[in-house]
Homo-oligomer: A and B are copies of this chain.
Amino acid sequence: MNKESSKINHSLNVNVSVDCVVIGFDDKELNVLLIKRLQAGDEKAYSPYKLPGSPIYMDESLDDAAKRVLVDCTGLKYVSLEQFRAYGEIDRLRRAEDVQWLERTHGLASTPERIVSISYIAFVRQKKFRQLTETYQATWMPVSKLDDIDLAFDHRQIVTDAIRKIRRDVEVQPSIVFEILPRKFTMLQLRAVYETIHGEKLDIRNFHKKMTNLKYIVQLDELEKDVPHRAAHLYKFDRVVYKRLRGSI
C-alpha cells in the first residue's frame, strides 16, 4: 500500500492478517498461547496479551503466513495448523491502543480502516517446547482464566470460538487428541485428554474397552517406568490404520 514508506510496507499486505490460536495441553488443563505486547512509554494503556499474529506478506499463502507467525513467535515448527475462520467485523480496530500498537510494531505510517484476520488453530503438547516460550515472550494462559484478562482486538472472541471448535472436532476427528500426547502414552493420559476436552469424568472401564477396540490404538510390549504404582501399558496411535479406516476424513 505505502510503497514509499518502507520496504516492510512494500511486501506486507496490511489488509489481511493471520492469527494463531495455539491450544496446549499440559496433562492437566488446556492453555492458550498468548504473546505479551512489547511495551512503549505508557505501559498501562495497552492490553498486555494478544494472539500470535501478523499481517501476511505478499509472497506467502495464508497457510505459510500462519506457519511463519508460529515459528517467529514461538520457535515452533512442524505443528499442524488448521485454518479456522475469518474475522472481519468493521469495528475490529476500534481500540486506539490496538491501532497504535500495530503501527509501531509493523512500522506503518497509517493503518487501514480494517484488517481482516484469518485465524488458525493448532493443538499441541506443551512439554515439547516449554523453554522456547520464554524466549519469545509467549506465555501459556489457562483457558479457565481467560475471563479475568484483557485481550487485544477481538481475540477473546477468536479464542472462545477456537475452543468450541476443538470440542466439536474431537468427536468427528479423534486423531487430533494424539497431537497433544507423547508418541507412547498410557490409557490414563488418553483419558485425561478426553476428560479435559469434554469437561467431565469418563467411566474407566468403558473408556478402556472402547479405546482398545479401536484398531488404530495399538498396545505396545512396553510399560511405563518410574511411577510410584503399578506400571501401565503403553499404547501408540497408528496413523496409517486410522487413515485407511476413515478415508478422507
Is the C-beta of A144 less than 8 angstroms from some C-beta in chain B? no
B16 touches A116 (CB 8 A): yes
Bound form: Cα–Cα A59–B13 in Å: 19
Within 8 A of B (CB), among A73-100: 83, 85-90
Is the C-beta of A214 less than 8 angstroms from some C-beta in chain B? no
Is the C-beta of A168 less than 8 angstroms from some C-beta in chain B? yes
Is the C-beta of A56 less than 8 angstroms from some C-beta in chain B? yes
Bound form: Cα–Cα A112–B170 in Å: 39
- Chain B hits for A23, CB < 8 A: none
Within 8 A of B (CB), among A49-68: 56, 58-63
B61 touches A90 (CB 8 A): yes
- Chain B hits for A88, CB < 8 A: 16, 56, 61-63, 118
Residue of B nearest to A173 (CB): B168
Is the C-beta of A172 less than 8 angstroms from some C-beta in chain B? yes
Is the C-beta of A150 less than 8 angstroms from some C-beta in chain B? no
Is the C-beta of A103 less than 8 angstroms from some C-beta in chain B? no
Is the C-beta of A113 less than 8 angstroms from some C-beta in chain B? yes
Q: Determine how close the nearest CB of chain B comes to the CB of A21; give it in whole angstroms.
A: 15
The 14 sampled A-B contact pairs (Cβ below 8 Å) are A13-B112, A13-B113, A13-B114, A15-B16, A16-B116, A56-B116, A58-B113, A59-B90, A60-B90, A61-B88, A63-B88, A116-B118, A168-B172, A172-B172
4 tightest A-B CB contacts, nearest first: A62-B88, A15-B15, A86-B118, A86-B86
